[in-house]
Amino acid sequence: MALPKLNVPTYELVVPSTDEKIKYRPFLVKEEKVLLMAMESGKTEDILQATKTIVDECTFNKMKLGSMPMFDVEYIFLQIRAKSVGEISKLRVLCQDDGETYANVEVDLNDVHVQVDDTHTNKIELTDEMGVIMQYPTIDSFTEEGIGDINPSNMIDVIASCIAQIYDKKGEEVYDSKDSTKKELVDFIEQMNTKQFADVQKFYDTMPSLKHTITVKNPKTKKESSMTLTGLNDFFG
């Protein structure tokens, strides 16, 4: 006799970048196992792949996850995790007042949202005649480039993977990044002066991201300080 099947609840969320409503369910034991194995390996590419697999398996809308902005995928995963394991995430964080004491804090995942900076733009003018149109990093671009997060050592590679177009007002031409090699894009970036490069970096500093500010009380000094959590790593360790 076949065993009965357990009913799995479904929920709905709104994708931050598109306002599209999608349905999702909690992850199951078999899917959680994939995530735990990836976390145990400690490899960024394994964790990213596990995140992508879980989001793909647990959503009912047909989405091209590989080309979605990373912050969308992170937000969807956060919602899935909240309904699967619990809406309270327990963290152990380093107190900022002394830089050595750790404190236990709890974060309600329902309070975590994708935040957008009012000054953010994906169109960056490098000169009066030339500029670039940027696109958001995707989970596939992070995986393909072997990038765990954006930092000074990989910034040029990240920028190269996120240039959508280069436009030239004088020649009235638009150069699509798909028609250029990665080396050509890197060479273009390396021609920038310090101010131009900083303007491009601002795109990443201000782009939408999972962000939440918490108050941490140092158990030793009793001092309270504010701490901003950003991205999945901060919310789950």
Q: Which two tokens stand for residue 203?
A: 């795109």
pLDDT 10s digits, 75-88 = 999 999 999 988 89
Please name the amino acid found at residue 54.
I
Sign of CA dihedral 56, 62, 63, 66: positive
Question: Domain residue spans in the chain?
Answer: 10-86, 88-112+208-237, 123-206
Please name the amino acid found at residue 45.
E
CA distance 136 to 74: 13
Report whether pLDDT(146) > 60.
Answer: no
CA separation (Å) from 226 to 99, 107, 210? 13, 13, 17
pLDDT 10s digits, 171-205 = 678 999 999 999 999 999 999 999 999 999 999 88
User: 114 falls in which pLDDT band (50, 70, 90)?
Assistant: very high
User: 165 falls in which pLDDT band (50, 70, 90)?
Assistant: very high
pLDDT 10s digits, 64-76 = 888 899 999 999 9
Q: Which two tokens stand for residue 130?
A: 């030339």
Q: Give 58's Cβ-side CA count (13 Å radius).
A: 31
Overall pTM surpassing 0.95 (yes/no): no
CB 93 within 8 A of CB 102: yes
Residue of 118, 138, 133 whose CA lies nearest to 166: 133
